[in-house]
Amino acid sequence: MRPLLHIKDLVTDFLFPKSRKVLELEALSPETLLKTLPRAERLTDKNIIALFDYSHPLVKEIVWELKYGGNAKIADKLGGILYDLIRHEFNEKIILIPIPISDKRRFERGWNQSELLAQAVKSRDSEKMFKYLPRQLAKLRHTESQTKTGSRSERLRNLTDSMKVLNPASVSGASIIVLDDVITTGSTFAEARRALRAAGAKKILCIAVAH
């Protein structure tokens, strides 16, 4: 973890002490997470990968602390796991793109949890394998949370044409990794892939922490 990030965490922890449960989550090593958390079922779409089973209580707690707590320590542990997975899947230069959130959502939370994951992956990139483009895939309009919409068709309509690559030349012909925290129906990833394909991306692999 970066020194400045470590100092920031120390100050934040002093001013806003964390609960015992959060401290227990932060104490888990990446190796422990891999050994104890149940893996997600393999998805039918071979271009989407999820690490852990979201129905497991501990997986859900970890994801919620990342999403709603903006926990950089948990993001760092998950980033290490994601980095190893990506290095296993790819042996070429990759563009790393987090799923975007709307300006309204960013204002409400103060962070994008997918960016926290992507930053943690990029921080391990000593081989300069990744080109990180955090704001190139943009959310053009605010949409309701996917958990608040019903069927998959509703979720697809909710997200349709909500994302755009701001500079298509930046991804044209490239291999892309798209990162998110949770996949439910796959609608968010579907919209991200639509936008990236429209911009000329060659290969797109979507990876989520949980499903």
CA angle 138, 165, 75 (to 5 degrees): 50
pLDDT value of position 38: 96
Residue 118 scores a pLDDT above 70: yes
Which of these, 73, 50, 74, lies nearest to 63 by C-alpha position?
74
pLDDT value of position 13: 54
pLDDT value of position 20: 80
Q: Averaged over 143-155, what is the pLDDT?
A: 62
Q: pLDDT band for 90, please (50, 70, 90 cuts).
A: confident
Helix axes 113-122, 57-69, angle to 10 degrees: 100
Residue 149 scores a pLDDT above 80: no
Q: Counting beta carbons within 10 angstroms of the beta carbon of residue 211, is it exposed (0 to 12), middle (13 to 18) or buried (19 or more)?
A: buried
Which percentage of the chain shows pLDDT scores above 70?
Answer: 85
Residue 14 scores a pLDDT above 80: no
Residue 8 C-beta-side C-alpha neighbours within 13 Å: 9
Residue 76 scores a pLDDT above 90: yes
pLDDT value of position 153: 67
Domains identified in the chain and CATH numbers: 17-210 (3.40.50)
pLDDT value of position 15: 42
Q: Averaged over 1-9, what is the pLDDT?
A: 53
